[in-house]
Amino acid sequence: MEQAPKPTEAPKPKSKTLLYAVIVIVLIVVGVSVYILFQPPATNTTGTPVSIWDTSGQCAQGMNNCGFKDANGVVNVTITAGTTIKWTNNGASTHTTTSCDSGHVSAQGCPGGNTSSEVWDSGILNPGATFSHTFNTKGTFAYYCTLHPWMHGEIIVQ
């Protein structure tokens, strides 16, 4: 007896669970990639801290109401070569940390130019902002605030 031909089976639909899993994985990969791509540049979060301070936004020459200091209240900080200094503007007004030739430092600041081998300029640091610089060369490096030139200090690298 002749058998009737088997009816062809319709293809089974692929599992929706597998499809959803692939979509979720693709979305995660894309999301993480976009997150990484649009992160702000990494900032140095470590380093010897130096505070830039002022009293309630006041920074007047001769008033002793603004300046630079480390955690011990010292203006002239001594470090070893390879150490990073991290300045933080803890004041209420904008400041800078800008290197200068120690031969030009005076009570009026350091506007005479910069011949230091370790040159840095933070640019404007708004309240709460930070700036870091790694000192690789031994020596004494003077710096000041370009907005308040009577604010100055030294980094002594041994």
For the stretch 107-142, what's the b/e string if a residue is b when 16 or more beta carbons lie within 10 angstroms of its beta carbon? eebbeeebebebebebeebeeebbbbbebeeeeebb
Q: Is residue 150 part of a domain?
A: yes
pLDDT at 102: 61
pLDDT band of 52, cuts 50, 70, 90: very high
Q: Tell me the range of 4-18, 48-62, 66-80, 95-109 where mean pLDDT is highest.
A: 66-80
Q: Is residue 81 part of a domain?
A: yes
* DSSP designation for 103: G
Burial class (CB in 10 A: 0-12, 13-18, 19+), 38: exposed
Whole-structure pTM value = 0.65
> Could you tell me the two tokens for 86?
């991290």
Q: Is residue 61 part of a domain?
A: yes
Q: Is residue 84 part of a domain?
A: yes
Give the domain CATH number at 152.
2.60.40.420
pLDDT band of 100, cuts 50, 70, 90: confident
Measured over the CA atoms of residue 135, residue 100, residue 67 and residue 53, the dihedral's sign is negative
Domain of residue 137, residue span: 48-157
Domains in the chain: how many in total? 1
pLDDT per position as a tens digit, 66-77: 999 999 888 899
More confident residue, 97 or 110: 97
pLDDT per position as a tens digit, 116-155: 556 899 999 999 999 999 999 998 888 888 898 888 888 9
Q: Is residue 40 part of a domain?
A: no
- The residue written with tokens 């929706």 in the block is 16
pLDDT at 108: 58
pLDDT band of 42, cuts 50, 70, 90: very low
Q: Is residue 120 part of a domain?
A: yes
Q: Stretch 94-104: mean pLDDT, rounded?
A: 81
